[in-house]
């Protein structure tokens, strides 16, 4: 098999990772120096996450996709075990009322970051095997059962947002695979009927929604992050205050190297450079969709398209939260925000995309909506 590399995808990923390292150091150096006595604490931890993520990325990139499909059940079982361990006292690590991590000391792993990818691998295999029967509602029901155990375990952590995201990603893959829109409409209605009561079941979720709708009324509580983010972005203007010169990261934004690192970028580098960052994400999405279109088979296309959509939506929603456009969720900015598990999982996704690209055919795959069907006249020939 002719395996090749995708220099565009590699270059864009490297640029984003380097920008992320610089901004994590800029956002965390002063606080890390005051709390740990070493300004490079967080950037060193992030570097270790990048190093381990690169190992996973390279190993996946040089591995044929058939191997990933062959061990999908093993991966799925590992994801279930990891999520169960998040609920076991003594092994779990709790923070902010949730038990989404496992580990000891300062080494923590968030299994849900990897579980999302594993569910998509499993679902892509199922849809590839049953791509001729997607008009049958029974096949769609079986497809819908694949993510349910993982979603239930994630919801128990509790993590409603990741549960909803995983459900949305599975729906995107079904659309890419060619599921009928009327069936997807039924799925969407069912998700709303089940999801809205679940969202309103916990008071903190209601408070987040209220803070989004009326942030100034809760400016000393739930609305605090959004307002301080607005102030930081406004003070950055078009060209920013200069790298390292953010005021918000010193006094107002708690842990600005994580979810709200976009506000630090806007304050230090300005709107123009923030738009350049958005441009890098746009190019990454373009490249991922190009890889999906050129995939060797429908499995690679379904998986590549959905993983690319995941990266794109995470980037969009993170920056939208920072700008106050959507309610806070806690999503990281891919390749930029601090967090070893998120970095490792995103680099694993890049490895999968590189593996799909390595096996690409010269003629794009003609499955799903990414490639228009041939005209009937050509089909007849």
Q: What is the pLDDT of residues 4-33, one digit of tens each?
A: 789 999 999 999 999 999 999 999 999 899
For residues 220-233, average pLDDT: 81
Structure tokens at 200: 């309103």
Give burial (CB, 10 Å; 0-12/13-18/19+) of 210.
middle
First and final C-alpha spacing in the chain: 29
Q: For residue 379, what pLDDT is reported?
A: 41
Q: For residue 37, what pLDDT is reported?
A: 85
pLDDT band at 364 (very low <50, low <70, confident <90, very high): low
Angle (nearest 5°) at CA 16 between 59 and 248:
135
Q: For residue 365, what pLDDT is reported?
A: 56
Q: Is the dihedral of CA 315, 370, 56, 116 positive or negative?
A: positive
Say yes or no to pLDDT of 367 above 80.
no
Cβ atoms of 271 and 238 within 8 Å: the answer is: yes
Cβ atoms of 280 and 351 within 8 Å: the answer is: no
332 sits in the region (left: phi over 0; alpha: psi -120 to 50; else beta) called: beta
Report pTM.
0.91
Calculate the average pLDDT of the chain. Answer: 88
Say yes or no to pLDDT of 329 above 60.
yes
Say yes or no to pLDDT of 214 above 80.
no
Say yes or no to pLDDT of 78 above 90.
yes
Angle (nearest 5°) at CA 363 between 357 and 364:
65
Angle (nearest 5°) at CA 337 between 334 and 339:
100
């Amino acid at each position: 098999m002719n395996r090749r590399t995708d220099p565009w995808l590699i270059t864009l990923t490297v640029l984003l990772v380097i920008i992320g390292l610089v901004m994590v150091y800029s956002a965390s150096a002063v606080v890390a120096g005051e709390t740990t006595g070493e300004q490079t604490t967080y950037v060193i931890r992030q570097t270790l996450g990048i190093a381990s993520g690169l190992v996973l990325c390279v190993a996946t990139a040089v591995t044929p996709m058939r191997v990933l499909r062959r061990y999908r059940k093993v991966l799925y079982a590992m994801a279930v075990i990891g999520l169960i361990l998040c609920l076991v006292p003594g092994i779990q690590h709790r923070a902010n009322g949730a038990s989404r991590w496992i580990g000891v000391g300062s080494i923590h792993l968030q299994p849900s970051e990897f579980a999302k990818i594993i569910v998509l691998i499993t679902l892509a295999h199922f849809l590839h095997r049953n791509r001729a029967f997607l008009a049958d509602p029974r096949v769609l029901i079986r497809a819908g059962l694949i993510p349910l155990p993982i979603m239930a375990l994630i919801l128990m952590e509790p993590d409603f947002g990741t549960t909803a995201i995983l459900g949305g990603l599975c729906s995107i893959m079904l659309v890419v695979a060619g599921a009928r829109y009327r069936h997807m409409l039924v799925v969407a209605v069912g998700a709303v009927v089940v999801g809205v009561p679940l969202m309103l079941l916990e008071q903190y979720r209601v408070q987040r929604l209220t803070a989004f709708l009326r942030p100034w009324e809760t400016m000393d509580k739930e609305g605090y992050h959004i307002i301080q983010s607005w102030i930081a972005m406004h003070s950055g203007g078009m060209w920013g205050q200069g790298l390292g010169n953010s005021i918000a990261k010193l006094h107002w934004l708690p842990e600005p190297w994580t979810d709200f690192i976009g506000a630090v970028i806007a304050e230090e580098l300005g709107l123009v450079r923030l738009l350049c960052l958005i441009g890098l994400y746009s190019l990454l999405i373009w490249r991922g969709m190009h890889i999906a279109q050129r995939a060797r088979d429908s499995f690679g296309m379904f998986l590549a398209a959905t993983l690319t959509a995941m990266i794109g939506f995470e980037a969009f929603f993170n920056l939208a939260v920072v700008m106050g456009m959507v309610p806070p969720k806690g999503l990281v900015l891919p390749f930029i925000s601090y967090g070893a598990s998120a970095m490792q999982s995103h680099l694993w996704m890049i490895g999968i995309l590189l593996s799909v690209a390595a096996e690409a055919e010269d003629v794009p795959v003609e499955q799903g909506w990414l490639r228009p069907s041939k005209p009937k006249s050509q089909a007849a020939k």
